[in-house]
Amino acid sequence: MNTWHEVTTLEEIPPLGARVVTTKQGDIALFRTAEGEVFALLDRCPHKGGHLSQGIVFGKKVACPLHSWNICLDDGKAVAPDVGCTRSYPVKVENDVVYLSLA
């Protein structure tokens, strides 16, 4: 069962951009797609630990700013031929308020 924590508002996450939330688990990047969907990933690329929040969002992926690895926003997996995964977190938006589950 998810425990939801209010972390920000939708307008504080730029379209095709990210916002970082600091938690006990580490920094979590909240990404917003052009369609307004919101995803949450640990803010570390599985390749060399680059800050994914500083990458370029396109479709439902983010390109790591260090070596351009493409990471899927919905599950944190690297796009082939690259291999690796960063942790993803459940997120929901209700009335323009963004909630994050750390479970």
**Any residues with CB less than 8 A from the CB of 96 and at least 6 apart, and which?**
9, 10, 11
Residues in the chain: 103
pLDDT at 103: 78
- Is pTM beyond 0.75? Reply is yes
Compute φ and ψ for 33, nearest 5 degrees.
-85, 175
Give the pLDDT band of residue 2 (cuts 50, 70, 90): confident
H/E segment holding residue 99: strand 97-101
1 pLDDT exceeds 90?
Answer: no
pLDDT at 9: 97
pLDDT tens per residue across span 6-40: 999 999 999 999 999 999 989 999 999 999 999 99
Summary mean pLDDT of the chain: 96
Mean pLDDT of 48-60: 96
pLDDT tens per residue across span 34-45: 999 999 999 999
Domain 4-101, classified CATH 2.102.10.10, yes or no: yes
